[in-house]
A and B are shown apart, each in its own frame.
Chain A
Amino acid sequence: MAVLKRASWVPICLSWVACGAPLADDAYRGEPLFKVEGQLGSAGSTEETPQNVRASIFWSRSFEVESVEDLVEQRSTSAEVRFPSTFELRFFRRPEFEHALQSAQGVSIGVMLLYEDRDQNLRFDGDDRVLGGTISKGIVFSKGPLTLSGVAIPAGFSLIDLPFLNCPEEHFPLPPEVLEHGVDTCMVQGCPEDLRCDQRFGFCFPRAPLMLVIEDGFSLERALCPF
């Protein structure tokens, strides 16, 4: 026992000589500028186990996009998956000029996508395949405070609920739990704390948690519209 007590001084002594900021290896990417946590989900069965999965934020240059190719990838994000079903997104860089909305300089809107980097060139291109992404959630970066679709956005990074503007009319289900809160009311009256007001319909919708979904056939539409 006495020996153990004496031995306990060893790490203390070593830690004394090894002081200061800990040294970083090649896994270090810097100090994150923005972090969000969410839930991990999957649907369907993947055809094969994907290799070289990367998580990136894809910024939109306009409010209207049709495919992933219309987005600009910024490789500055890490997605850490924690057992059993949570994840954390870290943003290590601010969006650059080429990531900003053309109609509103200093403001960037993007979505998180997971893809298989088949050619391992650390970017989405060629035969790379989208595996999943966040659902109906967007990342906004603004150099100053602004109001977007009636929602106040502070300067810096923010996580926002994407409006249902992107959902095709025929696919919009208008669920009963939404309808019971009335029509066109939230534009005037606002919504309770746990709901959000969708500008397309003026409904209060449940404020959905951040979900990162991996599923077969995941597409940009899926990321923009939850329905």
Chain B
Amino acid sequence: MRLCLALLVTLVWSSSVQAKTYVVSVGNNLGKGAEPLLRFAEQDAQSFASVLRRLGRVSGENTVLLLGEDASTLRGTLLRTNARLRSAQANQTPNDALIIYYSGHADATGLHLGESTLPFEELKTIVESSPARVRVLIVDSCRSGGIIRIKGVRPSGSFAIRLDDRLDAEGMAIITSSAGSEDSQESETLKASFFTHHLVNALRGAADRDQDARVTLNEAYSYAYKETLRSTGRTLNIQHPTYLYDIKGKGDFALTYLTEGLKRSGKLGLPEAGAYLIMEGSANGPMVAEVSVEQEGAQLLLKPGRYFVQRRSENHYREYELELERGGSVDLSSVEYEELTYSQLLRKGGGTRKAVHTLSVLGAARGPILEGHQVAPGIALGYSLDLPWLSLGFLARWSLSGAQAQSGDLQTTHHELGLRLKAERFIDLAWLSVSLGLLVEGLFHRQLFQSAGVAPDRSSWAFGFGGFVAVERSLFSSLVLRLEGGPISQVFSRAVTRGGEAIDQKLETPLTWWAAGGIGWRF
């Protein structure tokens, strides 16, 4: 669990002048005393600095990365950065920006950098005294209630930010990843804290809702807020990022510039809305991004390399493999994909469903079970419940067969109604799913006779059992093609005849076959 996460943004911005941006990114996995060791705090700081370096008009000389350093080092670095800013202002660049990012432990009073503490009051004083017109302080820690007590910072509601908000030319805003009493969390899957992961993805382009090739602070926060809430909603401790600001003037602060960033990255076009998981290398590679796209035409700038992309929807997953080249662009709509449907997802352990339901209509045929009888064609209506390990279902079926008596003077029409219970285990292959299953069924037989003599109708109950192999192939939408077949047997009472007359009965268990094919609708 990640102890603290907060984003403090102080803005002094003039929209008319593009200025240099200074970044101080701080990460410390160590906290005070018994605070647990964090796994990804320093990695988060690197990721944040890296994405701003690549996409945010931030030069290497203006980026400071502090990993595992103490409070005095951070204090000194901030003071030196302020000094550089003053020097720059003296050179007629008064609109420089300062972004401070912190990921690590904290409490209500200050940042914990190992055993040392940097009080929020002192941090605020340093930030406020910075000559930068835009001052951004990002603190990635939990219990950020201490931050909102900073003098001069006015808290807003969790959803106070609208995408069309314009920040004034000068002011301060605070974005916290969690409420005052909440813990922040790291994700083993994401290899990062939830909030920073989503913030970095936002800066990569996922948050560019107006598709102007710039990700502004508002866009980044809005995206990170929503995704953090969604991601942590699956865990025991939900996080509510918070945005606090004190603003004067007007302007909107762009953190990253996607067009310029393309020179050092590859562009991945995400043409459809949905949730995307992006892994580096292959499906088993490290997760690069988990992003949500709300509208068509989104793009994400990533390091050049090979990626495995999984687009998740409620109904299915689509999996892509692609190569991103520096300065190149790949749109997912032009990449071949493999589609995993409801049941396959379930069996792979993906998706949010615990079970998948299927209704099916099948044309069927059963082999003869009585001497001289024909193959019995019929129809079947089925329902199945796909669970992660097993699929259970039942099938109601009717079949009709006929036979001519050896003597030629009696015609038999044989109706069969069956209610079948089945269990099957699927194996998902590239283009289809194959299952092996077992079935039992209760059967009702009715024989009607056409004869000039006397041949009363016969009704009989029977029991069936067998095994089967089934093949399923997704068609489109939620439809699936299903073929199945296998050996079955029935236990029933057969008339023993002598000279054409039924004189006795005998229990029969003939071995025959069953085959069916049809369409299923998954929901």
- Complex interface: chain A residues within 8 A of B445 (CB): 20, 23
Question: Is A152's beta carbon under 8 Å from chain B?
Answer: no
Given the contacts A22-B502, A23-B447, A17 and B491 also touching, CB distance less than 8 Å: yes
Known A-B contacts A15-B493, A17-B461, A18-B461; the reply to A26 vs B403 at CB < 8 A is yes
Question: Which of A85-93, A139-147, A180-188 lies at the interface?
Answer: A85-93
Question: A31 contacts the other chain (Cβ, under 8 Å)?
Answer: yes
In the assembled complex, the Cα of A221 lies from the Cα of B459 at a distance in Å of 47
Give the shortest distance, in Å, between A79 (CB) and chain B (any CB).
7
B151 CB–A CB distance under 8 Å: no
Q: In the complex, which residues of chain B have a beta carbon less than 8 angstroms from the beta carbon of A35?
A: 501
User: Which chain A residues lie closer than 8 Å to B499 at the CB level?
Assistant: 32, 78-80, 88, 90
Q: Determine whether A30 belongs to the interface, using a CB cutoff of 8 Å to chain B.
A: yes
A interface footprint on B478-499 (CB within 8 Å = 1, 0 otherwise): 0000000000000111111111
Tell me, yes or no, whether B74 is within 8 Å of chain A by CB. Answer: no
Which one of B205-213, B253-261, B368-376, B429-437 contacts A? B368-376
Bound Cα distance A90, B500 (Å):
8
**Is the pair A20, B371 in contact by a Cβ cutoff of 8 Å?**
no
Q: How far is the CB of B83 from chain A (nearest CB, A)?
A: 92
Q: Is the CB of B460 within 8 A of A23?
A: yes
Asked if B76 is at the interface of the complex by the 8 Å CB criterion, the answer is no
Contact with A along B245-278 (1 / 0, CB 8 A): 0000000000000000000000000000000000
Q: Please indicate the chain A residues that have their CB under 8 angstroms from the CB of B506 in the complex.
A: 22
Please report the number of residue pairs spanning A and B whose Cβ atoms sit closer than 8 angstroms.
Answer: 157
In this assembly, does A14 line the interface, its C-beta being within 8 Å of a C-beta of chain B? Answer: yes
Pairwise interchain contact A26-B404, C-beta atoms closer than 8 A: yes
A17 to B463, Cβ gap below 8 A? Answer: yes
**From DSSP, what is the main secondary structure of chain A's interface residues?**
loop
Q: A207: CB under 8 A from chain B? A: no
Q: How far is the CB of A10 from chain B (nearest CB, A)?
A: 10
Q: With contacts A31-B454, A78-B499, A93-B453 known, is A25 near B494, CB below 8 A?
A: yes
Interface residues of A in 37-62 (CB under 8 A from B): none
On chain B, the residues within 8 Å of A33 by CB distance are: 453-454
Q: In the complex the two chains form, is B507's CB within 8 Å of A18's CB? A: yes
A76 to chain B, nearest CB (A): 6
B493–A30 CB distance below 8 A: no
Tell me, rounded to whole Å, the shortest Cβ–Cβ distance linking B419 to chain A. Answer: 13
Give the residues in chain B near A208, CB-CB below 8 Å: none
CA distance A136 to B501 in the complex (A): 26
A30 touches B410 (CB 8 A): yes
The one of A17, A31, A32, A75 that contacts B462, using a Cβ cutoff of 8 Å:
A17
Query: Could you tell me the distance in whole angstroms from the C-beta of B402 to the nearest C-beta in chain A?
Result: 10
A96 to B452, CA, bound (A): 9
Interface centre among A21, A75, A76 (most CB of B within 10 A): A21
Query: Does any Cβ of B come within 8 Å of A148's Cβ?
Result: no
B455 at the interface (CB under 8 A from A): yes
In the complex, whether B156 has a CB less than 8 A from a CB of chain A is no
Considering the chains assembled together, what is the distance between the CA atoms of A93 and B500 in angstroms? 12
Report the Cα distance A165→B451, complex, angstroms: 36
Interface residues on B, range: 35 or more
B406 contacts the other chain (Cβ, under 8 Å)?
yes
Task: Tell me the complex Cα distance, A29–B513, Å.
Answer: 27
Return B22 CB to nearest CB of chain A, in Å: 83
B residues 494-523 near A (Cβ < 8 Å) are 494-502, 505-507
Q: Across the interface, do A31 and B455 meet the contact criterion of CB distance under 8 Å?
A: yes
Query: Is B187 an interface residue when CB atoms closer than 8 A count as contact?
Result: no
Q: A183-202 CB contact bits vs B (8 Å, 1 = yes)?
A: 00000000000000000000
Q: Which residues of chain B are near A90, meaning CB under 8 Å? A: 499-501
Expressed in whole angstroms, the minimum distance between the Cβ of B369 and any Cβ of chain A is 8
- Structural contact, A28 and B500, CB atoms closer than 8 A: yes
Closest to B407 in A: A29
A226 to chain B minimum Cβ distance, whole angstroms, is 25
* Interchain CB contact under 8 A, B463 and A28: no
Residue in A25, A76, A88 whose CB lies within 8 Å of B403: A25
Cβ contact within 8 Å between A15 and B407 = no
The distance in angstroms between the C-alpha atoms of A16 and B455, with both chains bound, is 25
**By the criterion CB–CB under 8 Å, are A122 and B408 in contact?**
yes
A4 interface contact, C-beta 8 A: no
Do A25 and B371 touch (CB < 8 A)? yes
Contact A18 B500 (CB under 8 A): no
- Residue A27 CB within 8 A of the other chain: yes
Partner of A29, one of B414, B462, B501: B501
- Does A19 sit within 8 A of B, measured CB to CB? yes
Taking a contact as CB atoms under 8 Å apart, the answer to whether B491 and A25 are in contact is: no
User: Which residues of chain A are near B373, meaning CB under 8 Å?
Assistant: 25-26
Q: Which residues of B contact A14 (CB under 8 A)?
A: 463, 491, 507
* Distance to closest chain B CB from A128 (angstroms): 15
Residue of B nearest to A15 (CB): B507
Q: What is the CB-to-nearest-CB distance from A137 to chain B, in angstroms, rounded to a whole number? A: 18
Interface string of A94-111 (1 = CB under 8 A from B): 101000000000000000
Determine if B412 is an interface residue (Cβ-Cβ < 8 Å).
yes
Are B460 and A20 interface neighbours, CB within 8 A? yes
A175 / chain B contacts, CB cutoff of 8 Å? none
- Listed in ascending order, the chain B residues whose CB lies under 8 Å from chain A are 370-373, 403-410, 412, 414, 442, 445, 447, 449, 451-456, 458-463, 491-502, 505-507
In the A-B complex, the 4 residue pairs with the smallest Cβ-Cβ separation, listed nearest first, are A26-B372, A29-B500, A30-B455, A80-B499
Q: List 10 A-B contacts (CB under 8 A).
A: A18-B491, A22-B495, A22-B505, A23-B370, A24-B449, A26-B403, A28-B495, A28-B502, A80-B499, A92-B409
Q: Known contacts A14-B491, A35-B501; can you find 13 more A-B pairs with CB under 8 A?
A: A17-B461, A18-B461, A18-B462, A21-B493, A22-B460, A22-B506, A30-B455, A31-B454, A31-B455, A76-B452, A88-B499, A90-B500, A92-B409
